[in-house]
Structure 1
């Protein structure tokens, strides 16, 4: 052995920062998920993303409650160098589709709002249901 222990030990990369939690489908779940995502983004210093993230999380979690029979909703936020990815999972394998725009409609515009706020979004079927993901660029957030 030629070096000291400190010279031989290398730090392992830790990957992106991530927060995740699971929720039961209750009336209070969207507000709890909004609160948790807000706390996460503020902890990371990404306050500029909070308003958009709150609307997006509220819409996706509410959709999971209203349009599926899921017993569990997962929410995760992952911070990458250029963007934040928000993922909402549920046990339904039916992928979301934006409703056609109806001028006087009182509901049904949520995914259109998500589309306008997000840098990108989509959904994927999983063996256990689906995931709906949304990306927000971090250039909206102060450094």
Structure 2
């Protein structure tokens, strides 16, 4: 995420990923194998976790003194949107999005175009002249 200059999103993304991976660890069957994808798309950071359990997660209201049961509520609280995409017998994908700040990238400056300075680089063949084609392949 630092590569994309999204440092302000690191804590919320880490919290969301941690909660989704905890759900995989606690609930997923037949195995705990999962993949995490992070994509930056049009001002949105999308984080998704795919596991092999086709059962969809249930959001529930945890009692005040319960020590678990708030993971999806926390994901919903820190994200812009979230959801679940069933993938039939292959499992499911639980995802959330975060609004990404617009990048402030300084574009490189190029010298102004000057026709006089480019003449030495341009070779103009006389009209009607034919230059034989060359192949990059020997032979």
TM-score exceeds 0.5: yes
Deviation at 1:142, TM superposition (A): 6.8
Displaced runs of 4+ in structure 1, greater than 2 A? none
Correspondences of 1:28-47 after superposition (within 5 Å) = 41-47=1-7
How far apart, CA to CA, are the structure 1 residues paired with 2:103 and 2:16? 20
User: What is the aligned partner in structure 2 of residue 62 from structure 1?
Assistant: 22
**Which structure shows the higher strand fraction?**
1
User: What is the aligned partner in structure 1 of residue 78 from structure 2?
Assistant: 117
How far apart, CA to CA, are the structure 2 residues paired with 1:42 and 1:95? 32
Correspondences of 1:54-93 after superposition (within 5 Å) = 54-69=14-29, 70-93=31-54
**Which structure shows the higher helix fraction?**
1
Counterpart selection for 2:59 from 72, 85, 98: 98
Q: Determine helix, strand or coil for the equivalent of 1:92.
A: coil
Structure 1 unmatched runs, 5+:
1-40
User: Aligned-residue CA RMSD in angstroms?
Assistant: 1.5
How far apart, CA to CA, are the structure 2 residues paired with 1:48 and 1:73? 26
TM-score, normalised relative to structure 2 = 0.69
Any conservation in 2 of the 1:49–1:138 contact (CA below 8 Å)?
Answer: yes
Q: Which has the larger radius of gyration?
A: 2
User: What is the aligned partner in structure 1 of residue 69 from structure 2?
Assistant: 108
Give the number of equivalent residue pairs. 102
Counterpart selection for 1:136 from 98, 102, 105: 98
- Mean alpha-carbon deviation: is it higher for 101-110 or for 114-123? 101-110
Q: Determine helix, strand or coil for the equivalent of 2:50.
A: strand
Any conservation in 2 of the 1:47–1:142 contact (CA below 8 Å)?
Answer: no
Q: Determine helix, strand or coil for the equivalent of 2:59.
A: coil
